[in-house]
Amino acid sequence: MESVNSEEPHLRHVEKDVLIPKMMREKAKELCSDKVEAFTECCKEGGFFMVFKCRKENAALKDCLTGYYKDPAFFEECKEEYLREREEYRRTGISSKYRKQNLPTNT
Residue 89 lies in a domain: yes
Tell me if 23 sits within 8 A of 81, measured CB to CB.
Answer: yes
Residue 42 lies in a domain: no
Residue 35 lies in a domain: no
Residue 36 lies in a domain: no
Residue 39 lies in a domain: no
- Alpha-carbon distance of 106 to 90, in angstroms, equals 27
Tell me if 28 sits within 8 A of 69, measured CB to CB.
Answer: yes
Which of 10-19, 26-35, 44-53, 78-87 comes out lowest in average pLDDT? Answer: 44-53
Q: 97: pLDDT confidence band, cut at 50, 70 and 90?
A: confident
Q: Residue 87, Cβ neighbours under 10 Å: how many?
A: 11
| Enclosing domain of residue 62 | 55-93
Residue 62 lies in a domain: yes
Q: 100: pLDDT confidence band, cut at 50, 70 and 90?
A: low
pLDDT in tens, 22-77: 999 999 999 999 999 999 999 998 888 888 999 999 999 999 999 999 999 999 99
Number of domain units in the chain: 1
According to the model, what pLDDT value does residue 51 have?
A: 84
